[in-house]
Structures are given as structure tokens and as C-alpha cells.
Structure 1
Amino acid sequence: MSRFLNDVPRWILIAFWIAGNIGMFVYAYLKYKNGIEYYYLRVLIGDALCWARASAACLNLNCMLILIPVCRNLLSFLRGSLKLGCTKTIRRQLDKHITFHRYIAYMICLHTVIHIGAHVFNVERMFVAHEGISLTSPDKVKELQSALSILDDRSTAQTYVNPVRDSSESPSLFALKSLAGVSGIIVTLALILMVSSSTEVIRRSYFEVFWFTHHLFAIFFIGICIHGLQGIVRSQTNIDVHDPEFCHDKPDQWNQIPECPIPQFAGSSPGTWQWVIGPMALYFLERCIRFFRSQQKVIITKVVKHPSNVFELQMKKKGFKMGPGQYIFLHCPKLSYFEWHPFTLTSAPDDDYFSVHIRRVGNWTNDLAKACHVDEVEFKETWKQPRVAVDGPFGTATEDIFSYEVDIFVAAGIGVTPFASVLKHIWYAKHTTNAADMKLKKVYFFWICPDMHAFEWLHDLLKYYDRQMAETGSTDFLKYFVYLTRGWDRNLAKAIVLHDEEIYDPITGLHQKTHYGRPNWDQIMPSIAKDHPRTKIGVFFCGPKVLSSTLHKACNQHSIAGDTVFYYNKENF
């Protein structure tokens, strides 16, 4: 049951996409394999023509699709619209937009390899045909290839089919002199740089490299649009008066018998632009919205330095509205005119400001901390803070937190940031006049940290919940579990044992005790399922991929059809 809910919708979507690629490939392959207008071109270069054109058709399809998953404003609009009449299962597929973007990029790489490989054979065979050399074909085929290759457009009665006009030059020089060759090389280099700089290591350690190289997409799309302008692939235009299946064995009689006039050819008109113009327009609109937002005034009202190299920016912007756990893109022109970096909002929609917590892990975040005077003791007035721009907010899976009776939040390290916002918003909603109508009745919060210092900046919020739950008598509404995976020694272990009987945890100072090691989901999930029979439970995760995979499998494994079901949701941005 849960496997169907968590995985199968994504598999169905991917299956439709793969089927579309297969269908497009087969259709184009058969078109160029059997199309009579390409008969003479196939004589020259064989089946490599079919492979090149079929892969080109799939490239058109995927280049059309690849921009849509990164149109974040469009996706946020769709997420909001789908709430009106669609199930959570359909909406949750929008959370996979970056994953789908990667899949499409991999498919583009695959078809690019096929396309380039096929055209390498095509160019070589065009030169061979021009020279009248054939090691495998009978003499009649060699004669036909030679007759086709000497056709030219110097006379109004002839048009060429073999684009190689000078057989004395090298194939490499021919490629470099043609628009298709030059644009193809540029497009391929841009694709290699974009894909290679998108690896996890580059994005995490050298975000600026990823950011700038990914903007080569503009060159990529211009290149693919002009790639076919030269019309190197040429089809016969007079098949109504010159039947190639009848005339192919009579090249010496062309233009001498009425049935076989000189065959006429014309280059195929470029069609890639027709595929990509719509998504390009959508993305252009996306960037226009970003530019408009970048001109709107954002005021940094407060800067707070937290432990563990984390600092908080509290900001205000006219008309800014957010949902729980959403994220924004932050831009500081003083540091870079082009760079926008994503950060999860840690404030609640009910606050009179919006905030982000930023960990200083790279050049940009360290430079931003310096620009905001984070390390200075004296408070700096608002007018002394750098100008920043904000794009967003954008929706995430956490928008569905109130759609379940029970929520499980799992955060690893700094992945706790979206849940700071979510917990604030839930607590506010529970204590409003509409609390009785709230579907959500129970929240479990698991925070997995690599060292005890990572706990510190969230202490105040969790301590606040400790006090509020005690005062309001709602201690059962929120249960949180802090896991320390490393960072303790023998002395600390002794201190933990000595203070184990105390009310508050000796490490965090919280009412609920810290656990040491990693959570055992095979024990936790059945226990929660037992406490909440016949319940739909939303599991929301933000953290590394390895833990995500483990938690995803646990949700599938411990769901029971017709009983308790765990719906897995992962933060992606």
C-alpha cells in the first residue's frame, strides 16, 4: 500500500517519460529508414542517418522538458492550484522537480552521445561516397554514390544531396567550417561543463562554479536552435516525377528518360526552436519575476550570531507572504551581482518578519557574515547592513503538514531549519480559536546531530515548547527526540550517567533526554504505528541522501494496507 503511494506514482511518471522517448525515437528512426524522400541520402550514409535523426528527435523532446522543473514560480502556482482538487499523492510529485530535472539531463547526455557518434559515421561516409570508394558495396551502389556526390547547385537543374563539396579537405576541417559542426561542438562543451559541475561535490564545495557554469544553458539553447539552419540533412523534393526506387539503378540515364529527371534536394528546415520556444518563454518570464523581485526593497532588521558557525538574518519586505517550511533565494549585490543562494525560512508565517539561519561553510556565506557584521559586538543599524534581494518564497512538501492526523519530522544537522518554521506555525495554529478544526493531533520530531554543539542554536525554541506544553497541559501533542551520533568522550559519558536521573538532560538542558547513536527506524516505526492504528501519517525529512533512503525504505516496510500508512515527503530545493 505505502509502496504504491510513495513510489509507484513517480515510477508511472518516469515510465510515461521513457515511453515518450522510446516512441519518439522509433517514430523518427522509421521515418528516416523508410521515407522515400530520404532514399538517396540513405544510399550515401546508410543507417547512421536514422540513428542521428532519431536521437535528434529525442533531444528536442527532452530540451523542451528540462526547463519546466526549474520554473519554481510555476511549480509553486501549480502546487497551490492542485490543493483545490487533487490528492496529496499527485502534489507530492512536484517535490521531485530537481530529481526529474537531473533525469532529463542524463537523457540529453545519452542522446547527445548517440547523435554525435552517428554523425561521425555520416561525415566519413559522405567523403567516401564522394570519392567513389566502397569496400562492401557492389559496383552499382558505388556508381550511384558517385552520381549523387557529383550533383551540385551550380546549375538551376541540379541540387546537391552530399554536403561535402570538396573531397580533398579533411572531415575535421569540414566539420569546423560548417554551422552544424561549430554549433554542435559549442553545445556539447556547454553540456559537459553544466553536467560535470552539477555533481554533489562541486555543488556543496564550490557552489559558485556550479552557479556560473549552469548559466551556459543560454548558449546551449541558442546553439541547438541554430544547429540545423544550414540544412545539411537533405531530402528529395521531386519524388512525384523521379521515383528513386525505380531510378536508383539508372544513374547514367538520369535526365535522358522522362521517368528519371535529375533528382532535386532541399535541406530540412530547423525545427528545434518550435519545441523549446514555449519552455524558454516560461523561463524568461520566471527570470523577469526574479528581476522584479530583486528590485523590491528588503530590510535586514536584526542579525543574530548563533553557535556552530550559524547566524540568523531577520528581514522584512512589503507584501511578503510565506507558508511553513518554504524557502527563498537570497541575493547580495555587494558580494556578487549574479549569485542567488537557496535558504529555508526558519520563521513562522505568523511572525512579523521572515528569517533564515545560515551556516558559514563557503566563501559566499562567510563574506555575507562579514558584510552583515556578524562577528562585531556592537549592534549595527539597519542602514549599515548590505542591500539584499529575495526571490520567493517557494513551496515545499511541508505545506501538507496539516493534511495528516500524525506528523513525523526528521531532520539531520542543519536540515532542522525548515522544521523550526513548521513547529512554530503548528504551535500557533494549535492555540488559536480554530484549533478544534485542526486535523493534526500529534507531532513526533527527530533531530539527528553529529555533535552536541549543533544543538545549541535551537535550544531556545525547544525550551519554549517545554514550558508551553507544561503550562497548557498538552505534553502529549509534541514529542521530540534528539540523537547525538558522535562528539562524546569517556568523561562526557560519565557525566551523562551521573546525571541520568535528573529531570533535564545534562547535555541539552531539555526536558526530554538525548539519545546517543542513530535512531533504529525498525523499532520506532512499528511503535508509532501501534499507537496510531488506521491512521495516515505524514513523514517529512530534510537531510542527507543516505538517511533519506533509509527512512524512505522504513516508511514502505512498516506501512500496513488498510491500517497505518506512512507517507514519505522529502525537502528538495
Structure 2
Amino acid sequence: MSGGLSKAMDASAVSSDDCANPRAAGQLSFFTQAFNASSLPGSTHAERTSMAFIPLPRESVAMMVDAVRVSALEDDEKCRFLFEMFDVEHRGVLSKEGVRAFVEATFATNGVEFLGAFDYDAVVGKVFGRCRQQDKMSYSEFKSVFGAVVAESDDDKSKEALGRLTVIVQTHNPKEFVPNTTTTNNNNNERGGRWYRINKFCRRYKAEIFWLTLYFLLMVAVFIAKASRFAFDPAVGNCPRVAKGFAEICLVNTMFVLLPMCRNFVTGLRTLPVVVNHLPIDHHIEFHKICGVVLLLAFLGHTAAWLVIVVYVRTVPLAVWKQSRYHHLAFVRDENLLLFALRVPIWTGVAMLLCAAIAAPLCLEKVRRGKFNLFWVSHMLFIPFLVLMAFHGFARWVAAPQAHYWVLPPIVIYLVEKRYRMTQMFGGQTQIAHVQLSKEAVAVFMRKPKAFSKRQRFLPGMYVFVNVPTISKFEWHPFTISSAPEDKFISLHIQRSGDWTRALYDNLQQHQASRVEDQGSPVTSPYPTVFLDGPIGAPAQDYSRYREVVLIGAGIGVTPFASILRSIMHQWESYRCPQCGHVRFPPSFQLRKIYFYWVMREQEALTWFTNTMNQLSQMDADNRLEIHNFFSSVKNEEVIAPLQALQNFIHDTEGQDIISGLQTRQRTRFGRPDWNAELSRVAQNHRRLEPLEDGDGEREEIGVFFCGPKPLGNVIDEQCARLNQTVPDVEFAFHSENF
């Protein structure tokens, strides 16, 4: 260390003692000793570049910068220490190499890397362009420019320094609109009361509540209609009514439970505007689950009623039993229980109960995500369950059998669906052409099957079921297509989250590792054969119905919107003028504004769709597209402030976002979005110029499409519902696709 630095350390220590801050003085002494001990004597910095210019390992420099930032030292002491640390020539000024090393250390200490073609030297040159000498930076200049990096973010001085560093070209930023969330009753207790929450819930889910109410009323009507056909019995009372009523509910739900899972049937319904506008088709899987639960409960109710009947029959006096309308079933009263259990209604009922007992616990979300194979195998028990149900009433104990009339139609529909899908599967055989592996996901690029475009129209946002026989011959897993229909390939981005996806990731990783060189050209062992079943309709495909859309992807949930953005890119390219290059939109293209939000934890994910977003930004002369990326792993305010300072400065000097590598108007932001502020801004941007009167005109409908974890989707749905109540002339239509 230079004599100047030692004097500065001594002076700082004295100052700390005077201020009665022994902790800061001790930390300053520790940093000095640590730096002296870590320095490598005799190192030649002339041959070093970047952080190697400092005679310390990259990790040590990053840790030192971070330790100084969070220490109890005063801001001036922090700046002075870092300035002297990077002044390796001990001249009292910093060279360009020292400033470059400091910039790299600031990002390395927060685990953030530079993406894109970022040029350190050009940025450092811009920084030195503000100095009095073009090749030297004094301490006062260093503190003026980089004071925000070392100061704590909640310090007023650091905010001033941040403003000095963040000299950016101001873009148009509409004034944030925060609607009035208060109701006509300003009583906070009443606003948060039970009836308020119930009313709010009903407004939010009015379509779902209407159809579920209709469904449960149908179940009640079915129960009453069937039970009313049986009179009170002196021996067993109303138990036959209860048993037959629950049996009828079981029969009706065998149809309802299968139809929502007929993929092509649901996809066909999505093409009907009347269905999309009035039926919550996006929740067909939830409806399948509800029907399954109702079927199971009705089955248990039917079983319990028959157990009570058997107990009554075997315990009532003989005289009462002879008065019963069921006294002709003498074996129910007199037969040995073991022989009685071998009768068709009994053993089929026990077998169905066993199927339900196995399948029910394996339907839980935790099992489905972690052990999908068990989930899939247990669901295949519905085949013997339905067959047993069809034969369950053949003994004609109480009435003529009718189960086969209810079971046969859904089975026929399902078999036709299955036959159609089997044709799709064999027509959907393809080969993997290329893969890109990241830390937690893999991008798979496949040749488009010949039959892929012959079946039904492929729309952006759809998904396919994927089967890889080398991993499992029977497992089919759904994944959203991330490529556009106009692309010559099909791409899937698959996150490593379950046993099957981990096996696929490891398999593809092994294939890449087996790459060998053959006469200077790489030869890769063949990738496994893939079967595709689809494309299948999804909520995101309805984006074209709106003039303004908000696309929100969380993590791997960005894939349907990547497909949409790529399709839009191809459309815009077809509208481009070959002479001037300007994109002229025809009147038929009604999509006026696109707000794209992507929240991710891994910075590496930002590279997946860089080319697509850059091309769209270059063609977007009318500012129809806003790209907002959020890097949620960095959310500490003390970390965000210095990163944003350097990010904004580099974006101004180089025109590139170093966090994402994108050349867009918007920069990647750190932390998580404030959905209230974001959606309020969208609402303000598209409000009508003149307020609507009661019943006058229509509200501007904005489609909000979300794909990601369900808890986050609930938050966004809640914000949309709140804004629909507080903004009079804007209506957010929320569509969710959870994974």
C-alpha cells in the first residue's frame, strides 16, 4: 500500500475514534491488513486486463468491494479505501484499467454477468470523457461518479450520487395513474369486512360461480329425480333413496369428468366465440377435478347407504322384513357374508372402491409434479373403474341396470379422441435437431412433422404433449410451444422440475457430452426420437381478440408469449416496406399495443429470446411494444441501487441493456414488479378521452394473459378485478395458464 493510503487509513482511524465508533475503526484496519496480505508482490499489471489488473483473484476483489459497501465506515472512507485499492500504480489517480476493474467487481459481487456485445473500454472511455484529464481520474471525480455504488441506497447522499451517475436520455414515461381504491363508504373496517370480501369475490368470479351453481343445481335435481322414484320402506327406511340418488350422480359425472380431458374436443370449443365469451373454458381442468371429487363423494355416499341397508336388513325383526318391498332379496339377510361378498354388485363395488383409494391420494399436486409416473398410472385406473361401473347393476337387485347407458357415451367419445390422437402421435414423430442447455432448463429444437400442419390450424400460444420412448413409452407431458407457426422448426423450453424432465435433461446432456470431432467437423450422436400430440388449444391463443394485451410470464412461463412475439415478428416483417424498411400496419391488424412482462430468477434465461426481442424493437417505430424484464433474484435495495446506476450509465453510452443483452427502450429492472402500479399505468394509457355515462358505450377491453405459478396469478387476477371496479372505462380480461 502507498504512503498516502496509510495516511488516509490513519486519519480515518483517528476520525473514527473521535466519533466513538470503534467498530468502524476496527473494520478499516481489517480491510487494510487483508488487502496488504492478499497483494501479490512483483505482479506486472501491464499484461493484465479487466479485474486481473488488480493483483487479487476476481472473487477476492468482488468480496472486498461488497465487504466495504456493507461496512460501518463513512461514505467518504469507503470511497477512499476503494479508490486506493484500485490505484495499483500508487499515483493518487485511477487509470482506465483500474476503473474497469472496479466496474467488473461491482457486478461480480452481486452475481450479475454482462450479456450481449458489451464493450468495457468504450464505457470506461465515456466515463473518462467527463474527467479533466482523459487518461486519469482523481479521487473527487471517482467519488462524484461512483459514489452511489459504495454508499447505502437509503442514504440521501447516495441518491444524489446515483442521480449524477444516471445521466440517461429521458424517454416518454406517462404519468403513473393510481386509481382511487376507496369505496363510497370510507370505513376501513367495513371495507375489509366479511360482506365486502364476499361481494368482491363474487364480482371477481361471477362467470365461474354461475356455471358451478348451475352444475350443483343439476346434481341436486338428478338426486331428487332419482330418489323420488323410490318410496319409504319399513325395513330400510329412506336408505334406498339415498343410495340410488348418489348412484345417479355418479353416472352423470362419468360423462362430465371425461369430456374436459378430451383435448381436441376442448380445442374445438375454443374456436367458438360464444363458448369463449360465456364459458370459462380456461378452467376446464379445474372443472375436471371438481367432477372427480363429486364423483368420489357420491360413490362413498352410495357405499355408505348400502352398508346401512345391509345392517338394517340383518337386524330388523322378520315380520318387518316381510313387509319390505325388498324381501325377495333373501340372500341379503340370510347368506354368509363371505358368499354375499362374491355377488357381482358387492365385489365390483369393492373393486371400484379400491381403484378410488389408490388414485385419490396420487392425484395431489405434490405427487403430480414430483412423481408424474405414479400420477399417470393411477389415472389409468379409470378404465377398469368405468368397466366395473357398467357391470355393477347387472344383478337387478333394485332396478334394471342403466349404468352402461351413461358410461358408454363418454367412453366412445374418449376412444374416438384417443384414436384421433394416436393418428396424430404417429404423424407427429420427429427428430431433435438442436438443443441448448442452461442451468435449470433445456431448449429443444425439432423438425416440424409433416402432419403437423395438416391436422388443425396451429396458433401461437398452443401446447403439445411430448413422449420420448427412450425415457418412458407411456408418459406424455404437456409443454407450451415457444416457436411461432411461421417458423420452420418447433421449439420447446423445458424446465428441469420433475423426474421425467430431469431424465430428459440428463439424456440430452449426455448426448451433447458425446460430441466428437471427425475430420474437423463435429459429429453428435443421434438425439432420441420424439412423438408430439397436438397442437392443443390454450388460453394464450385468444390474444388476437384484443386491441391491447398484457403478456405476463414468470420463469419458464414465458414460452407461450415467446411464440406470440415470434408470430408478431413474422407478421411485422411481412408488413415491412422493401424500399424504406418502415413497417406499415394494415387495417386488419388490430393489435395496437403489447405490454410484455417477464419475471425470472436466472439471468441466463434472458438469452433465450434475445434475437426475437431485438428484431421486434428495431421494427417497432410506433412504440407498439413495451418489453419489461424483471430480474427477481436481486431485490435488496442496497444491491439494486449501484447496479441500476451502472446499468443506466452503460445503457446511455452504449445503447444496450447489459443485464439482458437487449437493445430496447426499456431496461431490465431488479426485484419484483409492483403490479398495482404497472396495471394502473396500462389502464391510464387506454382510458377513453371522455368518461362513459351509465350504460353509454362499451369499456375498452384489455386482455391480460398470465402463465406461471398459481399464487402469482392470483395476485394479478386480484389487481385486475380491483381495477375493473375502480376504473370506469377500462375492463381487464384475465386469462391464466398455471404450471
Q: TM-score, normalised by structure 2?
A: 0.64
Corresponding letter in the other structure for 1:143:
A
- Deviation of 1:401 after TM superposition, in Å, equals 1.1
Match of 1:366 among 502, 509, 533: 502
1:450 matched to 2:616: no
Indicate whether 1:299 and 2:430 are aligned.
Answer: yes
What SS class does the counterpart of residue 711 from structure 2 fall into? Answer: helix
Change (3 A) 1:62 1:546: same
**Counterpart in the other structure of 1:525:** 679
Structure 2 partner of 1:109: 296
Equivalent residue for 1:245?
none
Q: Aligned-residue CA RMSD in angstroms?
A: 2.7
* 8 Å contact kept, 2:630–2:669: yes
Contact 2:432 2:530 in 1 (8 A): no
Tell me if structure 2 keeps the 8 A contact 1:164–1:174. no
Equivalence map 1:55-134=2 (5 Å):
55-80=246-271, 82-83=272-273, 86=274, 88-90=276-278, 93-129=280-316, 132=317
CA contact (8 A) 1:126 1:162 kept: no
Partner of 2:568 in structure 1?
A: 426
* 2:735 matched residue in structure 1: 569
Task: Give the match's secondary structure for 1:558.
Answer: helix
Q: Determine which of 483, 489, 500 is the counterpart of 1:347.
A: 483
Q: Distance in 2 between the 1:150 and 1:445 partners?
A: 67
The superposition leaves residues 40-78 of structure 1 with CA deviations (integer Å, 9 ceiling, x where unpaired) of xx2221112211111111111111211000001111122
CA shift at 1:528, angstroms?
Answer: 0.9
**Identical columns (%):** 28
* 8 A contact 2:436–2:444 mirrored in 1: no
2:646 to 493, 498, 501: 498
Aligned-partner residue type, residue 486 of structure 2: D
How do residues 160-199 of structure 1 correspond to structure 2 at under 5 angstroms? 160-164=328-332, 166=334, 169-170=336-337, 173=338, 176-199=341-364
Give the aligned residue type for 2:631: L
Structure 2 residue aligned with 1:317: 449
Matched residue, 1:287: 418
Which of 339, 350, 369 is the equivalent residue of 1:204?
A: 369
State how far apart, in whole Å, the 1-side matches of 2:340 and 2:590 are. 65
Distance 1:570 1:149 in 2: 54
Three-state SS of the structure 2 residue aligned to 1:384 is coil
Deviation at 1:93, TM superposition (A): 2.0
**3-state SS, counterpart of residue 394 of structure 2:** coil
1:507 aligns with 2:659: yes
Aligned match of 1:250: none
Which of residues 516, 524, 534 is equivalent to 2:670? 516
Residue 437 of structure 1 is matched in structure 2 by: 588
Asked if the contact 1:303–1:311 (Cα under 8 Å) also holds between the matched residues in 2, the reply is: no
Which residue does 1:406 correspond to in 2? 548
Change (3 A) 1:459 1:430: closer
1:337-357 CA distance string (max 9 Å, x none) = 211111100110111122211
1:394, distance to aligned residue in structure 2 (A): 0.5
Residues 531 and 148 (structure 1 numbering): CA distance in 2 closer, same or farther, change over 3 Å? closer
Q: Deviations over 1:100-141 (max 9, x none)?
A: 101101111221221121111111112113xx3xxxxxxxxx
User: How much has 1:400 moved relative to structure 2?
Assistant: 1.5
SS in 2 for 1:559: helix
**Aligned with 2:395 (options 230, 251, 255):** 230
Contact 1:410/1:446 (<8 A) preserved: yes
Q: 1:23 is aligned with what amino acid? A: A
SS of the residue corresponding to residue 45 of structure 1 reads coil
Residue 363 of structure 1, CA deviation: 3.1
Per-residue CA deviations over 1:248-289 (Å, capped at 9, x if unaligned) read xxxxxxxxxxxxxxxxxxxx2211111121111010011111
Whole-Å Cα distance in 2 between the matches of residues 55 and 88 of structure 1? 32
2:428 and 2:451 in contact (8 A); partners too: no
Amino acid of the residue matched to residue 334 of structure 1?
T
Q: Distance in 1 between matches of 2:280 and 2:606?
A: 32
Label 1:531 to 1:149 Cα distance change in 2 as closer, same or farther (>3 A): closer
Contact 1:2/1:559 (8 A) holds in 2: no
1:335 matched residue in structure 2:
471
SS at match of 2:350: helix
For 1:21 and 1:380, the matched residues in 2 are separated by 64
In the alignment, is the contact (CA less than 8 A) between 2:261 and 2:288 conserved in 1?
Answer: yes
C-alpha contact 1:76 1:394 (8 A) present in aligned 2: yes
Whichever residue aligns with residue 326 of structure 1, its letter is M
- Count of aligned pairs: 502
Structure-2 change in CA distance of 1:300 and 1:380 (3 Å): farther
What one-letter code is carried by the residue in structure 2 that aligns with 1:306? L
Q: Give how far 1:360 is off.
A: 2.5
1:327 maps to amino acid: Y
CA gap 1:273/1:516 in 2 versus in 1, 3 angstroms:
same
Give 3-state SS (helix, strand or coil) of 1:502's partner: helix
Q: Paired residue for 2:631, among 478, 484, 492?
A: 484
Q: Secondary structure at the match of 2:228?
A: helix
Distance of aligned partners of 1:396 and 1:486 in 2 relative to their CA distance in 1, 3 Å threshold:
same
Alpha-carbon spacing, 1:307–1:468, altered in 2? closer, same or farther (3 Å): farther
Shift of residue 174 of structure 1? 5.3
Residues 370 and 499 in structure 2, CA contact (< 8 A), matched pair in contact too = no
Q: Post-superposition shift, 1:374?
A: 4.0
Distance 2:243 2:428 in 1: 51
Q: Secondary structure at the match of 1:270?
A: coil
Partners of 2:226 and 2:436 lie apart in 1 by 60
Aligned counterparts of 2:643 and 2:326: Cα–Cα separation in 1: 92
8 Å Cα contact 1:347-1:355 kept in structure 2: yes
Q: Please state how far the C-alpha of 1:220 moved relative to its aligned partner.
A: 1.0
Helix, strand or coil: the match of 2:282? helix
Contact residue 352 and residue 389 of structure 2 kept, 8 A: yes
Largest Rg, 1 or 2: 2
SS at match of 1:323: coil
Displacement, 1:572?
5.6
Distance 1:190 1:525 in 2: 47
Q: Hey, what's the Cα distance between the residues in 1 that align with 2:238 and 2:553?
A: 54
Aligned to 1:221: 386
CA contact (8 A) 1:496 1:506 kept: no
From 222, 228, 236, the counterpart of 1:24 = 222
Structure 1 residues 124 and 283, CA, compared in 2 at 3 Å: closer, same or farther?
same
What stretches of structure 1 of length at least 5 have no aligned partner? Answer: 133-141, 152-159, 234-267
530-539 vs 360-369, which moves further: 360-369
| Alignment counterpart, residue 145 of structure 1, candidates 321, 339, 344 | 321
TM-superposed deviation, 1:377: 4.3
Residues 529-557 of structure 1 deviation map (CA, whole Å, 9 limit, x = unaligned): 11101421000010111111111111111
Q: Tell me: CA distance 1:547–1:368, structure 2 relative to 1, closer, same or farther (3 Å).
A: same
- Partner of 1:481, secondary structure, is strand
Task: Decide whether the 8 Å contact of 1:2 with 1:565 is kept in 2.
Answer: no
Q: Distance in 1 between matches of 2:515 and 2:495?
A: 19
Distance 1:362 1:276, change over 3 A: same
- Residues 572, 619 of structure 2: 8 Å contact kept: no
In structure 2, do the counterparts of structure 1 residues 342 and 491 end up closer, same or farther at CA, with 3 Å as the change threshold? same
**Which whole-Å CA distance do the structure 2 matches of 1:175 and 1:494 have between them?**
79
- Counterpart of 1:75, as a letter, is V
Instruction: Give 1:12's aligned residue.
Output: 210
